[in-house]
Structure 1
Amino acid sequence: MLERLGSQFETASAGYAAAHGIERDPDWFILKMQEELGELTQAWNKLSGRGRTHGRSAKDLRTSLADETADLLGHVLLFARHHDLDLSAAIARKWRFRPSL
């Protein structure tokens, strides 16, 4: 399941990078993960009253939180795929269950 999802993120990311002239070198994968974590933190700060909302509704702020969480998930999977990490096995070791659909 994670491998298939990672493959879907890879297709989307590679297409975006090609269209915008972005070189996805080894550092890019971890730097993008860090960038997305920062954006998720910013979305959380706004939703939890620790940041300026610029008049956005709670619904919009929750949508932003979900969007940034999806971005972070995508970049975690891209990082794992690029480094040939077996996340399913790691989840089984660390969380003691096997991911499934």
Structure 2
Amino acid sequence: MLSDLAEKFERASRNYADANGIERDADWFLLKLQEEIGELTQAWNRVSGRGRKKGRSDEELRLDLADEAADVLGHILLFAHRNDLDLSAAIKRKWLFRPEQR
């Protein structure tokens, strides 16, 4: 399940990078994840009243928060995929469940 999702993010990221002339070297994956965590933090600050809303409604701010959370998830999966990390096994070790089971 996670590996299938990671592969979908990988295809989308590769296509985006190719279309925009972005080199996705080893550092890029971690740096991009850090950038996205910053954007998630900024979105959270707006939702929680700690940042300027910039004329956006509460509903728009919640959508922004969800979008940024999706970006973080995608970039975690991209980082793991690039570094051949078995997240399913790590989740089983650390969280004591198997992500592919219901």
* TM bucket, shorter chain: over 0.9
What are structure 2's unaligned runs of at least 5 residues? none
Cα offset, 1:5, TM superposition: 0.1
Task: State the Cα deviation string for residues 42-90 of structure 1 (Å, max 9, x = none).
Answer: 0000000000001111100000000000000000000000000000000
- Who is 1:7 aligned against? 7
Q: Runs (4+) of structure 1 moved beyond 4 Å?
A: none
Between the aligned partners of 2:40 and 2:14, the Cα distance in structure 1 is 22
Q: How does 1:6-85 map to 2 (within 5 A)?
A: 6-85=6-85
Task: Report the counterpart of residue 93 of structure 2 in structure 1.
Answer: 93
| Alpha-carbon distance in structure 2 between the residues aligned to 1:10 and 1:54 | 32
Residue 11 of structure 1, CA deviation:
0.3
SS in 2 for 1:94: helix
C-alpha distance in structure 2 between counterparts of 1:24 and 1:33, whole Å: 12
TM-score (norm 1): 0.99
Consecutive unaligned residues in structure 1, runs of 5 or more: none
Size of the alignment, in residue pairs?
101
- SS in structure 2 of the partner of residue 51 of structure 1: coil
Q: Tell me the SS of whatever aligns to 2:77.
A: helix
Amino acid at match of 2:25: D
CA RMSD after TM alignment:
0.7
What SS is found at the alignment partner of 1:99?
coil
